[in-house]
Structure formats: C-alpha cells, structure tokens
C-alpha cells in the first residue's frame, strides 16, 4: 500500500489530467443528439466539397463550386470528410470534438515538455484550456487550429538551438498546415516563434548576458526562422488580397473592461462561465511572469513571456471584425491564455504550488463539466423534435430556411448552452439527407472552400443569408426568392406569441402558397412547408437578375 500511495502521489497530476480528458472526450457521446451552433454548417460544407470533388455532375454542382482562392479553412473540411467516411454524418461532430480534444491535450503536453524538460508534462491546466466557448459554438476550423498551435510552437522550442534545413522545412510545412486550418492560429504561432527567436538570439545575449552572439551564428539562426515563416507570411498576404470584403470594424477602447470575454464559458451560470477558475489562472500567469528568475529570462521562457504580452496587446488594438471574420478579439484572448499557461507550467518559483493548484483546477473543472453535460441534455430532446419534423424531406430536395426567435431558446433564461444549437440545424438536416441547403451562410461568406457558382448572383446570396434574421421586408424577400429559385421545402423556425406583423405576414404567405407537412413542438417552433406542384415553381420562376426589394437592409 505505501508503494501504491507513493506512486499515486508521484503521478497525481497525470492521473487527474487523463481522468478529465476521458470525461471531456466522452461528453459529446453522452447525449442522443450532440449539435453545436456552427458545427452543422462545417459538416454541410464538408459533404458538398467531397461530392463536388468526386462527382462533378452531382446536383450540388448546379449551385456550388470549389473555391480557387487561397482559403484558410480547408483543414477542418478535410478532417470532417475523413470522419464522415468512418462514422457517417450522424456522429461526425461527436468524433471531431473528441479527436480535437485529445489532439489538443497531447499537443499542449508536447509544448510543455519542449519548454521545461525537467517538469511534469501532464496537468489539468491543459484540460481547462480545451474547455472553451469556441468548441460549443462550433468554430471547428479555429478550434482545431488553436489546439494544434502549441505543437508547432513546441517543435520550434525543442529545436531552436539546432535548426537545420530539414527541421526548417518541417516547421514551414507545419505553419502552412496551420494557415490552411485557420489564419489566426498561424499568426499566433508565427508571432511566438519570431519573438522567441529574436529573444534568444538578440535580446537575451545582449541585455541579460552582456555577450552578444557572433554575427555569423546570429545570421544563420535567424535565416532559418525567416525561411520557416516566409511561406505562411506570403499565404496571409495573398489571402488578404483575394478577399471580396476586406472591411474592418472600428477599434473599441474598452478592451480592459471586456477582458477576458466569455472565452471559457461553456454553459449558463457561474459554473458554466468557470467564474472561479479563469481568474485564478490569470493571476498565476501574471505572478509567474513577475517571479521569473534572471536565469529563466535568458532562456526561451523569456521569449514566451514577451509573446504573452504581445498576444494581449493584439487583443487590445485589433478590431473585432475584418478580412471576412468575426470575434477577432476573443480569439486572441484564448491565445493569451494558451501561451500564459505554457509559461506557467515551467516557472520554477511556482513549482511548489503546482500540485495544489492542479487539484484546485481539477475540482472546479469537474463542476463545470457536470453543469455543461447537464445543459447538453436540456436541448437534446428539442433537437430530436426538430429532426423528427424534417424526416418528411426527401434526398436531393432544395431547402430554404427562415429563422426567427423561439421561446425554447429565447432570451428569458431558457437557452440550454452557449450559442444556439438550432441556429444552423438545417445544414445538419441537409447533410444527412444529401439535400441542397440554399440558406447556409458558408457558401455566401466566401471564406470557406465551397462557394455559390455564377448561377447564384450576389443579390440572391445576400437575400438568402438575410433569412437567418429576416428584416421588415421578410415577406417580400421570401416571395422574391421563391420566384427566382426552385425551392422544394421551406423550414420555418420560430414561435412568437404576439409576433410582429412581418412574422405573421411571412407565415401567412407560406400557409397560403405552400403545403404544411410537419411541425415540431406543442406550440410549433418548427414548421416544414412543401411546394404544392412542379408546375407552380416553373411558372413562377424568373431570372435572378430582377432585384429583391430593399436588399440593402438585409446584408449582414
């Protein structure tokens, strides 16, 4: 028994971390229907991309084509396609989340080992970093890229003093792979590698040791880093130049008050927000930087500490939208915590407190996971009702989704989890039945591998996208879309007691011109409408060159 107790004490951090990992990996499989907010759209894009690639004459080709631009979101599309080929569409999101969490756990552990080779690589702090808002929002491309980011950074840290052309090529390829999964993760990794290189080769020798490195060795090492980062830098430039919309939002000056934003919120309430956990991690990151010894500042840890500050600075100064992307600031908040936690695991003066702190993280994370799992169950039955109603839709049908708010996930405390798991559930329906979801946002956004083709003019694309939140002319937009597109089924989502006139006008138009075939909910929050006849569609179909009413009000 004493030997067993000694073994447990010696490996307590690994035991806690792997126990949490097993639970986190199992959570997506613990509910009958696991759906995130944007995950269904990623799934639908993967299904369409695969079909266009393998079957060029498929029905999807009448509406979509694969992009010929540099697009940093191919990574998750390819991974999802591989997963679909293994477990099918129904379980693809579950397996993706499980694999992403496991990959992130080992990637961060590798980075810890590269930065500090004499400490424990396993810590519940890694599990905390994986439990984020982005996962439950279904930001699959960004989440996958960010959990792999420490692996790339760790590779450089391990070989920083002995980079040769072979290792430089591996690092460059890894950076390119990160870019083609998500650009922000590539920017964060490139920034960290560049700052660590400058710190090790210029700042630390000059200001901490008083012995500048010889110019020949300095040029050799920095040359390798420049070559490693050059391909991804060129790709970022080409991507920015190819964007249809390059607008940036205005810079907000309230970043201090907003930090750290809901980056670790996975459910409602203090437990879901991890209210007692992320402030403790934040305080220890700051304390770790302030208590680093001079000998530690001479190492790569000094460069990582500078990178933590740089990530926070980027959070403060960057606008929250640009280059076709949203939620920029909160993405760099997560980057700040990833780099800060990596540093925290290696600071020597904090090592006596590591086990105690890891037990603290474990206890609070258990509470958070319990609460998150409970709330996942709350929406699973609602998702099942939605999917049951859509069973009437046959394979190959062309879908149009209209979305209003509904009390089942309204603002009065009924929301089951972060985001709205029903928001893009129409894309999941389309992926399951191999239908054409004309309303899915990704093809219209131009930042994903699948785009609308020339048969879908921009006015049509923006009007379709606007049906996520129809404006005051929603009924007119619906009539225009149905007259310019061969819509087979309309999924009408929303149930508003005392609804505004436009809600009633849209619903009245559907009831008078289409056939109601299914509903979900006692007071229906989903209604499935079918077109009445082929002849009706053909007789009404007009050229899409006619302009929709008041389109300017609807574009997002």
Quickly state the pLDDT bin for 541 (edges 50, 70, 90): very low
Q: Which two tokens stand for residue 473?
A: 């002319």
pLDDT at 492 over 90: yes
Q: What is the pLDDT of residue 215?
A: 59
Q: What is the pLDDT of residue 185?
A: 95
Quickly state the pLDDT bin for 472 (edges 50, 70, 90): confident
Question: What pTM was computed for the model?
Answer: 0.91
pLDDT, tens only, 510-521 = 999 999 999 988
CA dist., res. 201 & res. 336, Å (int): 23
pLDDT at 209 over 70: no
Least confident of 188-197, 322-331, 533-542: 533-542
- Cα–Cα distances in angstroms (integers) from residue 535 to residues 19, 391, 413, 498, 543, in the given order: 60, 24, 46, 36, 17
For residues 82 and 147, the answer to whether their CB atoms sit within 8 Å is: no
Instruction: For residue 517, give the H/E element and its range.
Output: strand 514-520
CA angle 293, 294, 300 (to 5 degrees): 90
Cβ count within 10 A of residue 338: 26
Greatest Cα pair distance in the chain: 85
Mean pLDDT value of segment 123-128: 95
- Cα–Cα distances in angstroms (integers) from residue 153 to residues 142, 284, 332, 510, 521, in the given order: 17, 22, 16, 54, 49
pLDDT, tens only, 281-310 = 999 999 999 999 988 898 899 999 999 999
Which DSSP string do the residues of 373-440 spell out, in sequence order?
A: HHHHHHHHHHHHHHHHHGGGPPTT-EEEEEE---GGG-TTT---SSS-TTTTHHHHHHHHHT-EETT-
Most confident option among 68-77, 402-411, 545-554: 68-77
Mean pLDDT of the chain, nearest integer: 85
For residues 311 and 185, the answer to whether their CB atoms sit within 8 Å is: no
- Cα–Cα distances in angstroms (integers) from residue 537 to residues 178, 486, 534, in the given order: 45, 6, 5
Q: What is the pLDDT of residue 208?
A: 62
Least confident of 53-67, 240-254, 347-361, 390-404: 240-254
pLDDT at 325 over 80: no
Q: Which two tokens stand for residue 52?
A: 């266009």
Q: Which two tokens stand for residue 115?
A: 């930065």
Q: What is the pLDDT of residue 536?
A: 44
Percent of the chain topping pLDDT 70: 87
Q: What is the pLDDT of residue 258?
A: 81
Query: Which residue, chain included where needed, has tokens 């980062």?
Result: 229
Q: What is the pLDDT of residue 233?
A: 93
pLDDT at 218 over 90: no
Provide the angle, in degrees to the nearest 10, between the axes of the packed helices 300-317 and 278-290.
130
pLDDT, tens only, 263-282 = 898 877 777 788 889 999 99
Query: Which residue, chain included where needed, has tokens 């759209």?
Result: 41
Quickly state the pLDDT bin for 197 (edges 50, 70, 90): very high
Q: What is the pLDDT of residue 547?
A: 63
pLDDT, tens only, 380-392 = 888 999 999 999 8
Q: Is the peptide bond before 260 cis (omega within 30 degrees of 0)?
A: yes
Domain spans in the chain, listed from the N-terminal domain onward: 2-38+97-373, 457-556
pLDDT at 317 over 90: no
pLDDT at 253 over 60: no
Q: What is the pLDDT of residue 1?
A: 54
In sequence order, which residues have a C-beta less than 8 Å from that of residue 398 and are 6 or more positions away?
A: 435, 436, 438, 485, 486, 487, 488, 489
Q: How far apart are the first and last CA of the chain?
A: 65
CA dist., res. 23 & res. 291, Å (int): 34
Q: What is the pLDDT of residue 554?
A: 35
pLDDT, tens only, 84-108 = 999 999 999 999 999 999 999 999 9
Sign of torsion, CA 234 243 262 416?
A: negative
For 289, phi and psi rounded to 5 degrees?
-65, -40
In sequence order, which residues have a C-beta less than 8 Å from that of residue 438 and are 6 or more positions away?
A: 63, 398, 399, 400, 464, 485, 487
For residues 156 and 171, the answer to whether their CB atoms sit within 8 Å is: yes
- Cα–Cα distances in angstroms (integers) from residue 268 to residues 287, 358, 371, 373, 390, in the given order: 29, 24, 8, 12, 29
Residue among 415, 137, 423, 102 nearest 265 (CA): 137
Q: What is the pLDDT of residue 4?
A: 75
Q: What is the pLDDT of residue 416?
A: 44
pLDDT, tens only, 395-420 = 999 999 999 877 655 443 344 456 78
Where do runs of H (alpha helix) occur along 199-326? 215-242, 255-258, 269-272, 278-290, 294-297, 300-317
Q: What is the pLDDT of residue 250?
A: 52
CA dist., res. 420 & res. 134, Å (int): 13
pLDDT at 252 over 80: no
Q: What is the pLDDT of residue 534?
A: 53
Q: Which residue has the higher pLDDT, 475 or 99?
A: 99
Quickly state the pLDDT bin for 217 (edges 50, 70, 90): low
In sequence order, which residues have a C-beta less than 8 Å from that of residue 129 and are 6 or more positions away?
A: 104, 108, 334, 337, 338, 341
Q: Which residue has the higher pLDDT, 407 or 328?
A: 328
CA dist., res. 412 & res. 527, Å (int): 23
pLDDT at 539 over 50: no
User: What b/e readout covers 432-458, taking b as 16+ CB neighbours within 10 angstroms?
Assistant: bbbbbbbbbbbbbbbbbbbbbeeebee
Cβ count within 10 A of residue 227: 15
Which DSSP string do the residues of 256-287 spell out, in sequence order?
A: HHHTTTTTT--SSHHHHTTTTTHHHHHHHHHH
Most confident option among 118-122, 183-187, 324-328: 183-187
Q: What is the pLDDT of residue 15?
A: 92
For residues 496 and 409, the answer to whether their CB atoms sit within 8 Å is: no
pLDDT at 240 over 50: yes
Q: What is the pLDDT of residue 429?
A: 95
CA dist., res. 262 & res. 113, Å (int): 29
Q: Which residue has the higher pLDDT, 430 or 322?
A: 430
Query: Which residue, chain included where needed, has tokens 């209210």?
Result: 275
Residue among 144, 131, 108 nearest 346 (CA): 108
Q: Which two tokens stand for residue 88?
A: 């099918």
């Amino acid at each position: 028994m004493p030997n067993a107790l000694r073994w447990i004490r010696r490996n307590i951090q690994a035991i806690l971390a792997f126990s949490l990992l097993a639970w986190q990996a199992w959570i997506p499989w613990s509910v009958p229907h696991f759906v995130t907010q944007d995950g269904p759209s990623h799934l639908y894009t993967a299904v369409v991309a695969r079909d266009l690639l393998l079957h060029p004459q498929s029905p999807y080709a009448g509406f979509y084509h694969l992009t010929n631009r540099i697009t940093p979101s191919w990574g998750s599309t390819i991974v999802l396609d591989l997963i679909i080929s293994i477990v099918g569409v129904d379980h693809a999101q579950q397996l993706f989340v499980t694999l992403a969490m496991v990959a992130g756990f080992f990637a961060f552990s590798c980075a810890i080992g590269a930065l500090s080779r004499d400490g424990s690589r396993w810590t519940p702090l890694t599990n905390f970093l994986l439990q984020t808002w982005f996962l439950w929002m279904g930001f699959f491309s960004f989440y996958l890229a960010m959990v792999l980011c420490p692996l790339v950074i760790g590779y450089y840290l391990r070989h920083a003093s002995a980079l040769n052309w072979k290792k430089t090529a591996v690092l460059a390829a890894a950076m390119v792979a990160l870019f083609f999964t998500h650009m922000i993760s590539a920017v964060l990794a490139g920034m960290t590698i560049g700052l660590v290189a400058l710190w090790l080769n210029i700042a630390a020798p000059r200001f901490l040791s008083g012995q500048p490195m010889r110019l020949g060795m300095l040029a050799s090492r920095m040359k390798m880093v420049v070559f490693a980062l050059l391909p991804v830098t060129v790709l970022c430039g080409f991507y920015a130049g190819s964007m249809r919309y390059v607008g940036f939002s205005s810079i907000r000056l309230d970043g201090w008050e907003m930090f750290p934003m809901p980056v670790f919120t996975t459910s409602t309430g203090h437990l879901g927000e991890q209210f007692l956990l992320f402030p403790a991690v934040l305080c220890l990151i700051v304390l770790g930087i302030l208590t680093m010894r001079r000998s530690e500042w001479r190492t790569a840890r000094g460069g990582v500490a500078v990178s933590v500050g740089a990530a926070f600075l980027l959070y403060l100064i960057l606008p929250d939208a640009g280059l076709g992307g949203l939620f920029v600031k909160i993405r760099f908040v997560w980057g700040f915590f990833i780099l800060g936690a990596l540093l925290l695991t290696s600071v020597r003066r904090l090592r006596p407190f590591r086990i105690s702190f890891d037990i603290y993280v474990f206890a609070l994370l258990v509470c958070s996971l319990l609460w998150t799992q409970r709330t996942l169950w709350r929406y699973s039955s609602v998702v099942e009702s939605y999917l049951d109603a859509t069973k009437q839709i046959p394979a190959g049908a062309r879908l149009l989704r209209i979305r209003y708010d509904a009390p089942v996930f309204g603002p009065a405390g009924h929301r089951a989890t972060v985001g709205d798991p029903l928001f893009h559930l129409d894309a999941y329906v389309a992926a399951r039945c191999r239908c054409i979801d004309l309303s899915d946002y990704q093809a219209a956004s131009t930042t994903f591998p699948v785009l609308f083709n020339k048969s879908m003019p921009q006015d049509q694309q923006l009007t379709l996208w606007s049906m996520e939140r129809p404006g005051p002319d929603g009924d007119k937009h619906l009539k225009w879309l149905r007259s310019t597109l061969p819509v087979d089924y309309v999924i009408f989502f929303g149930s508003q007691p005392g609804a505004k006139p436009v809600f009633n006008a849209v619903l009245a138009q559907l009831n008078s011109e289409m056939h109601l075939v299914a509903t979900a909910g006692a007071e229906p929050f989903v209604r499935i409408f079918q077109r009445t006849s082929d002849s009706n569609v053909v007789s009404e179909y007009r050229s899409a060159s006619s302009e929709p009413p008041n389109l300017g009000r609807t574009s997002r």
